[in-house]
């Protein structure tokens, strides 16, 4: 079942990419007590993710923070090293990357997708959500192949 507005995020381990290396975090602790603009992508360094999704959140980071967002988080079914390199190459210090290397977060939210036909295995769907104190306040899930409702611009328009 897919997570919905009003649901609490599942409690799973994620890995935060930091300058000092990977740091395991528990999602229930990580999202507690703050407002987070969270976006999920099928994969770091994939075309739409790198050319449009991540750059949109980088560009709109100040606007999101002005609307009350404490942190902007990107997640994908990639390891922390790949996520860290992706953020270094196309992101900014305004974006935190949380690796979902085994896809546990994607599966637990019901936002997983099978990209085996493209040789990519099981990944995350493309989405964005606004999370307040671990509870989903907005959820924008893209149709396969689309990029519109999960953008930073769309999220800003909802706030």
- The 10s digit of each residue's pLDDT in 107-153 is 999 999 887 877 776 889 999 999 999 999 999 999 888 899 999 99
Cα distance between residue 71 and residue 85, in whole Å: 19
What are the tokens at 123? 């990944």
pLDDT in tens, 26-55: 999 999 999 999 999 998 988 777 778 899
For the chain, which domains are there? Answer: 13-158 (3.40.30.10)
For 127, the enclosing helix (H) or strand (E) is strand 127-132
CB 153 within 8 A of CB 51: no
How far are the Cα atoms of 33, 49, 64, 103, 124 from residue 70, in angstroms, in the given order? 10, 22, 9, 25, 24
List Cβ neighbours of 55 (8 Å cut-off, separation of 6 or more). Answer: 90
pLDDT at position 73, please? 98
pLDDT at position 48, please? 79
pLDDT at position 55, please? 93
pLDDT in tens, 99-111: 999 999 999 999 9
Active-site residues, by number, are 49
Residue 147 exposure: Cα atoms within 13 Å on the Cβ side? 15
Widest CA span in the chain: 41
């Amino acid at each position: 079942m897919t997570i919905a507005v009003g649901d609490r995020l599942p409690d799973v381990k994620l890995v935060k990419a930091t300058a000092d290396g990977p740091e395991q975090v528990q999602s229930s602790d990580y999202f507690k007590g703050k407002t987070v603009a969270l976006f999920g992508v099928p994969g770091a360094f994939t075309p739409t993710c790198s050319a449009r999704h991540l750059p949109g959140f980088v560009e709109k980071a100040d606007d999101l923070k002005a609307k009350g967002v404490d942190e902007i988080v990107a997640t994908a079914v990639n390891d922390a090293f790949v996520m860290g390199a992706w953020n270094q190459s196309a992101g900014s210090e305004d974006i935190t990357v949380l690796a979902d290397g085994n896809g546990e977060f994607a599966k637990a939210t019901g936002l997983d997708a099978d990209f085996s036909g493209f040789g990519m295995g099981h990944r995350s769907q493309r989405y964005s959500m606004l999370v307040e104190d671990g509870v989903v306040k907005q959820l924008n899930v893209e149709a396969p192949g689309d990029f519109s409702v999960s953008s930073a611009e769309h999220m800003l328009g909802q706030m």
